Amino acid sequence: MAGEEGEGLKVLGLQVSPFVLRVCLALNMKGVSYEYVEEDVSNKSELLLKSNPVHKKVPVLIHNGKPICESPVIMQYVDELFAGRPILPTDPYERATARFWAAYADDKLFPAWYGMVKAQAEEERAEKAKETLAAIEHMEVAFAKCSGGNAFFGGDSIGYVDIVLGSFLFWFEAVRRVFDLEIINASKTPLLAAWAERFVGTVEAKEVLPLPTADMAVQYINKLHAPLPPP
């Protein structure tokens, strides 16, 4: 991802974070170079604390010394700043619709599947699994409407909603391995199942740095549920 226009860009991130991944995907989509800095969230750097004093979280995009925080804000900043294929639709109604479904994925789908990942009790996990599958069914309907029969939410190529939902895919695979739950199921959500295969095959997804994997997410889940050491 070499490019003079990307000079002065630094991403503070965590490799297992889907929110960091989507920032890297957005930068890849624009074809700009950036420096990636992995953060230890258990021992946060002074740079992170200074750059995001409100939430103290990743991702943070630092552009020529100026920090931009929160993945939706960063993605829209990148879209407005750099030339190339737009991330958000240019049509105002389509842009508003994309923002709605991206927000739905973050506000409804993410808390559901991540709540399932964190749940210690089987009853709570089952409830979160039910919420997850209900949310993904809404995303199936959204794809049918937004794609217009094309390959992606964004049309012929990936766009805003594709990046947001696509950033969850490696976690969905980890959930399948650990909890035996297929969030995107070819029989129940066939449109999304086909979309997911296309998404992971895109140049932007293949070349993203850093590249998170389901193995990393599985390790994270196992660590969450590891028995506490004896006192």
Model confidence pLDDT, tens digit, residues 60-87 = 999 999 999 999 999 999 999 999 999 9
Which pLDDT value is given to residue 1?
Answer: 40
Answer whether CATH 3.40.50.410 is correct for domain 92-220: no
CATH domain 4-81 topology: Glutaredoxin (3.40.30)
Decide the pairing of beta strands 60-63 and 35-38.
unpaired
Query: What is residue 91's predicted lDDT score, i.e. its pLDDT?
Result: 96
Helix, strand, coil abundance in the chain, percent, nearest 5: 55, 10, 35
* Regions of the chain where pLDDT drops below 50: 1-4
pTM of the shown model: 0.94
- Whether 4-81 and 92-220 share one fold: the answer is no
Instruction: Decide if 7 contacts 33 (C-beta within 8 A).
Output: yes
- The whole-number pLDDT of residue 225 equals 87
Domain regions of the chain by residue span: 4-81, 92-220
Determine the pLDDT at residue 230. 64
